[in-house]
Structure 1
Amino acid sequence: MAERLSHINPPLASRARVVLDINKAERHIRGGMATKEKYEHEHQLRACSRDEK
């Protein structure tokens, strides 16, 4: 996408590159947070099911 855009509209391509670079730099953080939430949710479900017994 960025390669084609640089030929069509270079100023827009440079602005898009900034956004894409920020997203790439933050991607691993979002993935880690999603994994943490997943396991916290599973932990809560197991705790609730033990309380019902």
Structure 2
Amino acid sequence: MKNFEKWVENLTENRVDILKNIHKNSKITIRELSENIGLSLSVIDKTCFS
């Protein structure tokens, strides 16, 4: 569990929010993530896929 906690500490707040939403709903779309978190589609795309 300690390794997991260290890994999470290195994540940005946006990435943590994205992961929380995906954990709640594994079939969530990028558009739904955008609406739930309040980030643009392009920011989510860059955050997840860069």
> Which protein is richer in helix relative to its size?
1
State the structure with bigger RCO (CA 8 A, min sep 6), 1 or 2. 2
Category of TM-score, reference length = shorter chain: under 0.3
The two structures have a TM-score, normalised by structure 2, of 0.27
Task: Select the structure of larger CA radius of gyration.
Answer: 1
The two structures have a TM-score, normalised by structure 1, of 0.26
